[in-house]
């Protein structure tokens, strides 16, 4: 089942098909081949220490339809939106856009949360394994911790009220979509063992009303 739990916190995973990923990869490849020209940077609204972060354009409608479908399935099982005393129904939330993160060696996304009510990340390319990263660090004269190196980590409060951090992604996450509450703090730790880019796409959804979250944008906060 794609419904996952961090004790008292429901998350949702979905593996995209090859057909669903093809238009996304076409646009991502186009971004890189054009050296990111003609694409609006998302960096001013984000907290990440990444040089290249850009909004999707052409592939966004298809991706939005896929994410919206998965949010509806998630809601059917988790009742996450209903828990906020909002009679959500189907299609009662709206997309706030999506952006591509091209993470290079040594770059990171510090601990932060998102605007909106539902956020998501889609892993497209992870050019290393966690074992490679830990082995690389073990050979370096550095005090950099091997814990969470190169990983996406979530910070949450467990059922005993204690704050915990856990790594969520793995070497098998390429093509996987993860849905999570927008206020759930998370971070992406740097990697060091390769010069290839780690590529992910992120986005947010807000309630589709005039009186709830009417001014929400993608802004991330630490």
pTM, whole model, 2 decimals?
A: 0.88
Instruction: Please give the average per-residue pLDDT across 171-198, as a whole number.
Output: 93
Given this model, what pLDDT does residue 135 score? 85
Range of weakest confidence among 3-17, 43-57, 60-74, 105-119? 3-17
Which of 217, 201, 218 is closest to 99 using CA atoms? 201
Which sign, positive or negative, has the C-alpha torsion 29, 33, 38, 44?
Answer: positive
Given this model, what pLDDT does residue 154 score? 92
218 occurs within a structural domain:
no
Given this model, what pLDDT does residue 197 score? 97
Domain membership of residue 36 as a residue range: 3-207
Given this model, what pLDDT does residue 28 score? 97
Residues 177, 14: contact at Cβ < 8 Å?
yes
- Residue 119 pairs with which residues in a beta bridge? 180, 204
34 occurs within a structural domain:
yes
222 occurs within a structural domain:
no
Residue 88 — pLDDT band, cuts 50, 70, 90?
low
9 occurs within a structural domain:
yes
219 occurs within a structural domain:
no
Domain with 84 in it: what CATH number?
2.60.120.620
Q: How far apart are CA 157 and CA 162, in angstroms?
A: 5
Residue 15 — pLDDT band, cuts 50, 70, 90?
very high
Mean per-residue pLDDT of the chain? 86
220 occurs within a structural domain:
no
194 occurs within a structural domain:
yes
Residue 120 neighbours by CB under 8 Å, 6+ apart:
67, 177, 178, 179, 180, 202, 203, 204, 205
Helix (H, G, I), strand (E, B) or coil at 64: helix
Number of structural domains (the chain) is: 1
Range of weakest confidence among 59-63, 132-136, 182-186, 188-192? 132-136
Task: State how beta strands 10-15 and 3-5 pair.
Answer: antiparallel
What Å distances lie between residue 217 and 3, 94, 99, 184, 206, CA to CA?
27, 11, 13, 16, 9
Which of 140, 96, 127, 112 is closest to 196 using CA atoms? 127
Given this model, what pLDDT does residue 16 score? 97
Helix (H, G, I), strand (E, B) or coil at 24: helix
| Residue with more model confidence, 41 or 92 | 41
Q: How far apart are CA 178 and CA 112, in angstroms?
A: 16
User: pLDDT at residue 83 above 90?
Assistant: no
Given this model, what pLDDT does residue 193 score? 92
212 occurs within a structural domain:
no
């Amino acid at each position: 089942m794609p419904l996952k739990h961090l004790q008292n916190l429901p998350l949702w995973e979905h593996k995209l098909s090859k057909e669903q990923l093809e238009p996304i990869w076409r646009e991502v490849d186009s971004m890189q081949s054009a050296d990111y020209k003609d694409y609006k940077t998302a960096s001013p609204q984000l907290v990440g220490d990444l040089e290249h972060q850009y909004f999707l354009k052409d592939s966004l409608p298809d991706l939005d339809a896929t994410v919206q479908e998965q949010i509806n399935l998630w809601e059917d099982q988790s009742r996450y939106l209903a828990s906020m005393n909002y009679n959500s129904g189907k299609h009662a939330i709206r997309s706030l856009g999506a952006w591509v993160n091209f993470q290079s060696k040594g770059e990171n996304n510090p601990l932060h949360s998102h605007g909106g009510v539902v956020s998501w990340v889609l892993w497209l390319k992870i050019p290393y394994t966690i074992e490679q990263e830990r082995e690389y660090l073990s050979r370096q004269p550095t005090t950099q911790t091997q814990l969470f190196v190169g990983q996406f980590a979530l910070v949450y409060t467990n059922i005993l009220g204690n704050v915990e951090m856990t790594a969520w992604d793995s070497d098998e996450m390429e093509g996987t979509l993860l849905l999570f509450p927008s206020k759930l703090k998370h971070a992406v730790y740097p990697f060091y063992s390769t010069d290839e880019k780690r590529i992910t796409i992120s986005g947010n959804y807000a309630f589709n009303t005039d009186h709830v979250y009417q001014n929400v944008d993608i802004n991330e906060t630490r």
